[in-house]
Chain A
C-alpha cells in the first residue's frame, strides 16, 4: 500500500511531524512503514515558465531558442523538444537547479545538476523539463508527450514553484499491512491509525447525500441468488454523464498513490477504492438487459470476455454479475467487455458489493486473473463499508459535476455486521501484558481506534470495520499498541520447575557431527525432496521398495517432487558439485530425514528416519570409511563388534565393495564404493566415491553414554603371533569371529597385522598374520592356559581350511 502523506493529512489535519518521525511512530504502533520517498527528490529550483517566443537555432536544425518568462525575468533557453509552442506553460529548472532524471531515462542517485551554458554557441540559462526529468513516468502522467516537455495546465501561476504546483512536494509512504487489518488497505484506515498513534482528532471526509428525486428502483433491480458468496450489493445510477478529466487535487492523489488518472468517472471509483478500501465497479447502464442485476454462480465451462479483451474460462464456483440475459462481470475480479464504460457513456450503474473473500481468492487463482479489486476483496470486507463507499462515490460525482445522481439506492442484504462487544477486563489485561496501566488510560487508548467503552454493560464495543477484534487478547493488543510496546517492562518467567536439556536423540546427532568432523568430513545440508529420476541414477529396479516414495501434489517442478526414501542423492549431488569445481579430496556428511510411507497413497504420517550419510572422493578407501563408522559406534558406546555382510545387494554400489553394517544382528546401515555407472550418472565418472549411511533411529536405540571404569589390568598380558595360510574366499571377519569364539574369556584382543598374496603362496590362498593377546584380570596366566586357548583357536581355524604357516 503506497499513500502520499498529504492525503493522510486530509484526515488528520493536525498531523505535524517529519517524515522519519511519522515512519517510526507508525511502525511502532503496528502500521509498518516499509519505506518512504520524497516525490521531489532531486528536484531543485524548478519554476513555472511561460514560453513567450520561439526562434530557430541559427546553427542547428533540431534546436530551437525560447524566450521564457520565469516570473521575475525573461530568460533564454535552448531546447530540442519538438512539442513546445509559444504560450505554453512549462516546468523550467533554472541555473544551478536539479532534476531527477537524465536524458536516457535513468534516475541517478544524486540527480542531475543543471547549469547555464551554450548550446551550439547560443546561450541557454536553464532547461525545460520532461516528465521523466521530473522523476515520474508517462504511465502516471498519460498526457505527457512521449518525447518532449511536460506542458502544465493553463492555471499554473508563472514564476511559482512548479513542484508545489504539481503536488510533488509530498512524501509517499509504503506500508506493510498485516492480513488481519483489512481496514488498513485504505487511506482512511491508515489515517485512522495515524490519528490514534499521534493522539490527534480524525476527520471523516465530507460526504453529502447525493441524488435527485428520481428513484433508483425505477432504473434497476438486484437479486442475489448465491447469498453465501455475496452478502451485500448496493447499486446506484448516474445519468447525463459528462466524461472529462478529474480535478487536479484528485489526479495528484491518484498519481502519488501510483494510479494513472483516466477520466472523472473511472478516477472516482479508483479514488474511493483507495480511500475506503472498497472496490467499486461501473457498468454502462445501456448494456444492462431487463434493468436487472442478478448475482449468481457461473456454469461450468462458461466463456466470458473481461474488459481487457481476454476470454476467461469459468466454472461453477466463480461468482458472476449478470443482467436479465447475460453475464456482465466476474464478481470482485473484473467487469465484462460487453458492459464496460466507454467515452460516450450516457448512464452509469455503480456497484459496491461485499463478496466472500475466500471465494474471490480462489476464483481469481483459477480464472488466472488477479486484479487490484480482487486483491482487496479476497481479504473479506466489512459489508457496512460498501454503502459508505457508494455514498462517497455519488457525493464525488455531484461535486465533480460529472453526472446526475439518481435518488435513493438499491441495497440488498440479509443482515449486516453488528458491532462486536467484548467484556472489558483491565486487570486481566495488565497481568497479561505485565503492565500497570490505569483503567482510564486503557479506555482512552481504545477510544482512539473507535472502540467505545459501554459503562453500563462493562463491555467494549468494536466498530465493524475492525473485524480482527474478537476477544480479550485482541483488546490487550490495542492497549499495548498505544501504551507502547517499548514501555512494557522487561521481566523473566518465574519457573523453578523447568530445566534445560537436549534430548538423547540430539545428543547422538551431536556426537555424529563431532566424530565425522574429526575425520575430516564437513557437514552438508541437502533437500528433502528430489526428482524421481534419482532412482534411475541409483539403478534401483522397478520394484525396489525405495521407489515407493511420497509425492508432493504441487511441487516446484518434477525435480523437487518426491520425498526422499534414501539419503544418497543429496550427498552424491554435493560431491559432484565439488568434483566438477575441481575441489580435491572432498569429504562430506549429512544428517537429514528420509520419509518412509507405511502405504501409498499416504494415509498416516510417514516414518521420518534421520540418516547419517557420509561420502567422499579422493584420499582414502573403503577401510577409511569403515574406520569412521567404527569410531562413531565406539564413541556412541556401541562397543560390541559390528559385522559386515558383503551380500547387501545394493545396485548403486560396487558389487564387490559393499556391505551391510550389522550390529547385534540388526542391520544399522551400509557402506561401499559407489558403482561406476552411478558415479557417471552423477557426472563424476572419473571419481572413486565411497559412501556410508547409518540409520540413526537404530543407533539412538543402541547408543549408551554411560561409562563404567573397569580398572587397569594389573596382571601381565601374553601375546602370541600366528601366521596362517587362508583360502582366498575366507573373509577376515570370519577368522576374527573364530578366534574370538575359541579364545574364550582370557582373549583380550586379536589384530590382523599382515596380509599377503603372491610369490611363495599358493594362488588359491592368502597369508595372514594375527597378533593375539591373552590376559586374565585376576591372576598371571600360565603357559598351559595360553597354549590350551591357542590350540582351540588353531583347531577352529583348521576347520575353516586354514593352516598354520610353518
Chain B
C-alpha cells in the first residue's frame, strides 16, 4: 500500500516538475512533495506503521523516490536557469560597432618621440645621457672645438651673442669638452639639447632646434668603431635593411670627418621624391675627435682616441614622420600633435 502510494507520489511529482513553467512552480512542487508537510515526508512519517522487517526496504524505496524527485527538480532548475540566462544575455545584446568611449590622452611631441628612440638605442649600446648649458661660453662652443677667433666656421654658423664671451650655443658639441674636462675616462655619452642659429623661420629652418651629440673616448678607439656604431644606430632607427654610406666631410673638431647617408627608407634606395631622386638621405656628421681638441681638454691624444657625432633631431623627426614643414614643430597646433 505504501509502495503504491510512493509510486503515485513519485509519478505525480515528476509530472508536475515536467509541467512547471517557472522556478516558483518548481519550488511549489518541492514544498508539496518534499517539504515538512509534503507528501513524501508524510510517507516517511507513516513508517512507524510498517513492520520492522519491511522498514529497511520501504526506507530505501522512500529515499530512492526522494533522490529521483530531487534530481528531477535540480535538472529542471538548471534548465530553467540556463534558459533565463540565455534570455538575459539576449536582452543585453549591444551594438558593438558603436563608437568607443575613450579617456582622452595627450600626445608626445614628434621631437621627443624621435629623441626617446635615439636615447633608447644608445643607452642600449652603453651610452650615458648628459646635458650641457644652452647659454654657453664662446670657449666651449668654438675655441675648444678647434674653431678659433676668425675661423670661417664661426661666421658660417650665424651665432646669437649675448656679449663677446657668452652666446647661445650653436651646437651641442660643447658638451664634449665639458665631459672631457671632468677627467673621467673612458667616456661614452650622448648629449641631446637645444641649439640656436640666426636663421629666419621657414619650412626648413628654425632659429632654435635640437641636436644629439655623441662622444666615445677610450684607448684604441678607431674610425672603424665609429662606422660600426653608427651603422648599428641607423639600422635600429630606420630598419635592419638600411644601407649606410660614409662620405668624407669637414668639421673643425673631428679629423677624419664624415657625413653619413642612409638609404632612403621610403623607396629603399631606388630614388623618389622624398630623397630627391638620390636614393640616399643625409643623416648626421661624425668623425674622429681631433687630437688638438683632445689635447685642449686635457686628454693625451697619444694615449686616447675617440669619435664624435652629431644628429639633427628635427631632421630625424621630419624624415621619420614625413613632416613637410619645420614650423609645425613649434606651432603646437593640436591637430598636428594629435597625429603622434
What distance in Å separates the Cβ of B197 from its nearest Cβ neighbour in chain A? 10
Interface assignment of A433: CB less than 8 Å from any CB of chain B: yes
Q: Are A523 and B224 in contact (CB under 8 A)?
A: no
Give per-residue flags for A543-567: 1 if the beta carbon is below 8 A from chain B beta carbons, else 0.
Answer: 0000000111111100010010000
Interface assignment of A501: CB less than 8 Å from any CB of chain B: yes
Known: A432-B305, A490-B228, A500-B128. A523 touches B152 (CB 8 A): no
**Which of chain B's residues have a CB closer than 8 A to the CB of A471?**
291-292
| A179, A480, A520, A550: the one within 8 Å of B153 (CB) | A179
**Which of chain A's residues have a CB closer than 8 A to the CB of B155?**
361
Known: A432-B305, A497-B186, A525-B109. A520 touches B126 (CB 8 A): no
Known: A29-B248, A476-B256. A552 touches B161 (CB 8 A): yes
Q: Are A500 and B331 in contact (CB under 8 A)?
A: no
Q: Are B163 and A432 in contact (CB under 8 A)?
A: no
Chain B, 258-312, CB within 8 A of any chain A CB: 258, 288, 290-292, 305
Known: A490-B228, A493-B225, A583-B333. A27 touches B247 (CB 8 A): yes
Q: How far is the CA of A56 from the CA of B332 in the complex (A)?
A: 68
Interface assignment of A623: CB less than 8 Å from any CB of chain B: no
Q: How far is the CA of A517 from the CA of B292 in the complex (A)?
A: 46
| B107, B137, B331: the one within 8 Å of A577 (CB) | B331
Known: A432-B222, A432-B305, A493-B216. A503 touches B130 (CB 8 A): yes
Q: Are B249 and A32 in contact (CB under 8 A)?
A: yes
Chain B, 105-150, CB within 8 A of any chain A CB: 105-109, 111-112, 116, 119, 122-131, 133-137, 150
Interface assignment of A581: CB less than 8 Å from any CB of chain B: yes
Q: How far is the CA of A154 from the CA of B292 in the complex (A)?
A: 61
Q: Are B228 and A553 in contact (CB under 8 A)?
A: no
**Which of chain B's residues have a CB closer than 8 A to the CB of A219?**
none
Q: How far is the CA of A472 from the CA of B150 in the complex (A)?
A: 24
What distance in Å separates the Cβ of A255 from its nearest Cβ neighbour in chain B? 27
**Which of chain A's residues have a CB closer than 8 A to the CB of B65?**
none
Q: How far is the CA of A602 from the CA of B109 in the complex (A)?
A: 33
Binds B, one of A394-402, A588-596, A631-639, A653-661: A588-596
What distance in Å separates the Cβ of B163 from its nearest Cβ neighbour in chain A? 6
Q: Are A554 and B109 in contact (CB under 8 A)?
A: no
Q: Are A498 and B186 in contact (CB under 8 A)?
A: yes
**Which of chain B's residues have a CB closer than 8 A to the CB of A505?**
131
**Which of chain B's residues have a CB closer than 8 A to the CB of A516?**
106
Q: How far is the CA of A593 from the CA of B198 in the complex (A)?
A: 19
**Which of chain B's residues have a CB closer than 8 A to the CB of A506?**
129, 131
| A486, A494, A550: the one within 8 Å of B162 (CB) | A550
**Which of chain B's residues have a CB closer than 8 A to the CB of A665?**
none
Known: A480-B248, A528-B134. A554 touches B166 (CB 8 A): no
Known: A500-B122, A602-B166. A434 touches B225 (CB 8 A): yes
Q: Are B152 and A493 in contact (CB under 8 A)?
A: no
Q: How far is the CA of A574 from the CA of B256 in the complex (A)?
A: 43
Interface assignment of A431: CB less than 8 Å from any CB of chain B: yes
Q: Are A529 and B106 in contact (CB under 8 A)?
A: no
Q: How far is the CA of A76 from the CA of B288 in the complex (A)?
A: 67
Q: How far is the CA of A410 from the CA of B134 in the complex (A)?
A: 52
Q: How far is the CA of A318 from the CA of B245 in the complex (A)?
A: 45
Q: Are A434 and B223 in contact (CB under 8 A)?
A: yes
| A518, A524, A550: the one within 8 Å of B105 (CB) | A518
Chain B, 179-214, CB within 8 A of any chain A CB: 186, 188, 194, 196, 198, 200, 207-208
Q: Are A503 and B129 in contact (CB under 8 A)?
A: yes
* Chain A residue total in the interface (Cβ 8 A): 90
Q: Are A588 and B163 in contact (CB under 8 A)?
A: no
**Which of chain A's residues have a CB closer than 8 A to the CB of B136?**
605
Q: How far is the CA of A610 from the CA of B2 in the complex (A)?
A: 95
Give per-residue flags for B226-261: 1 if the beta carbon is below 8 A from chain A beta carbons, else 0.
Answer: 011101100000000000011111101001111000
What distance in Å separates the Cβ of B173 from its nearest Cβ neighbour in chain A? 16
**Which of chain B's residues have a CB closer than 8 A to the CB of A468?**
250
**Which of chain B's residues have a CB closer than 8 A to the CB of A309?**
none
Q: Which residue of A lies closest to B218 (CB)?
A: A495
Interface assignment of B85: CB less than 8 Å from any CB of chain A: no
Q: Are A435 and B186 in contact (CB under 8 A)?
A: no
Q: Are A30 and B106 in contact (CB under 8 A)?
A: no
Interface assignment of B42: CB less than 8 Å from any CB of chain A: no
**Which of chain A's residues have a CB closer than 8 A to the CB of B256?**
433, 473, 476-477, 480-481
Q: Which residue of B lies closest to A378 (CB)?
A: B152
Interface assignment of A232: CB less than 8 Å from any CB of chain B: no
Q: Are B198 and A556 in contact (CB under 8 A)?
A: yes
**Which of chain A's residues have a CB closer than 8 A to the CB of B224?**
433-435, 488-491
Number of cross-chain contacts by CB at 8 Å: 246
**Which of chain B's residues have a CB closer than 8 A to the CB of A602?**
162-163, 166
Interface assignment of A626: CB less than 8 Å from any CB of chain B: no
Interface assignment of B53: CB less than 8 Å from any CB of chain A: no
What distance in Å separates the Cβ of A437 from its nearest Cβ neighbour in chain B? 12
Interface assignment of B156: CB less than 8 Å from any CB of chain A: yes
Q: Which residue of A lies closest to B307 (CB)?
A: A493
Q: Which residue of B lies closest to A557 (CB)?
A: B200
What distance in Å separates the Cβ of A259 from its nearest Cβ neighbour in chain B? 24
Give per-residue flags for A347-378: 1 if the beta carbon is below 8 A from chain B beta carbons, else 0.
Answer: 00000000001100100000000000000001
Interface of chain B: mostly helix, strand, loop or mixed: mixed
Q: Are B137 and A605 in contact (CB under 8 A)?
A: yes
Q: Are A485 and B258 in contact (CB under 8 A)?
A: yes
Interface assignment of B329: CB less than 8 Å from any CB of chain A: yes
Known: A473-B291, A477-B255, A520-B104. A528 touches B208 (CB 8 A): yes
Chain A, 504-539, CB within 8 A of any chain B CB: 505-506, 510, 513, 516-529
Q: Are B126 and A498 in contact (CB under 8 A)?
A: yes
Q: Are A499 and B126 in contact (CB under 8 A)?
A: yes
Q: How far is the CA of A554 from the CA of B199 in the complex (A)?
A: 12
Q: Are A608 and B134 in contact (CB under 8 A)?
A: yes
Q: Are B162 and A528 in contact (CB under 8 A)?
A: no
Q: Are A523 and B248 in contact (CB under 8 A)?
A: no
Known: A434-B222, A593-B134. A477 touches B248 (CB 8 A): yes
Q: Are A553 and B227 in contact (CB under 8 A)?
A: no
Q: Which residue of A lies closest to B156 (CB)?
A: A179
What distance in Å separates the Cβ of A526 from its nearest Cβ neighbour in chain B? 7
Q: How far is the CA of A494 from the CA of B106 in the complex (A)?
A: 41
Chain A, 410-438, CB within 8 A of any chain B CB: 431-435
Known: A432-B288, A502-B119, A595-B135. A552 touches B334 (CB 8 A): no
Q: How far is the CA of A257 from the CA of B123 in the complex (A)?
A: 49
Chain A, 449-496, CB within 8 A of any chain B CB: 468, 471-474, 476-477, 480-481, 485-486, 488-495
| A431, A550, A583: the one within 8 Å of B334 (CB) | A583
Interface assignment of B83: CB less than 8 Å from any CB of chain A: no
| B106, B133, B223, B291: the one within 8 Å of A521 (CB) | B106
Known: A32-B247, A433-B223. A583 touches B107 (CB 8 A): no
Known: A523-B109, A554-B198. A379 touches B152 (CB 8 A): yes
Sampled A-B contacts (17; CB under 8 Å): A434-B225, A468-B250, A476-B223, A480-B248, A485-B247, A488-B223, A488-B246, A490-B227, A498-B127, A503-B129, A516-B106, A523-B107, A523-B337, A529-B160, A552-B168, A578-B333, A605-B136
Q: Footprint of A on B, CB under 8 Å?
A: 103-109, 111-112, 116, 119, 122-131, 133-137, 150, 152-153, 155-156, 160-163, 166, 168, 186, 188, 194, 196, 198, 200, 207-208, 216, 218, 220-225, 227-229, 231-232, 245-250, 252, 255-258, 288, 290-292, 305, 329-335, 337-338
- Name the 3 nearest CB pairs between A and B, nearest first: A434-B224, A30-B248, A434-B222
Given contacts A432-B222, A480-B223, 16 further A-B contacts (CB under 8 A): A29-B248, A32-B249, A179-B250, A361-B155, A477-B255, A480-B256, A498-B127, A500-B124, A500-B127, A506-B131, A524-B337, A525-B330, A529-B207, A550-B135, A553-B161, A588-B332
Q: Footprint of B on A, CB under 8 Å?
A: 27-30, 32, 178-181, 357-358, 361, 378-380, 431-435, 468, 471-474, 476-477, 480-481, 485-486, 488-495, 497-503, 505-506, 510, 513, 516-529, 550-556, 560, 563, 574, 577-578, 581, 583, 586-589, 592-593, 595, 601-602, 605-606, 608
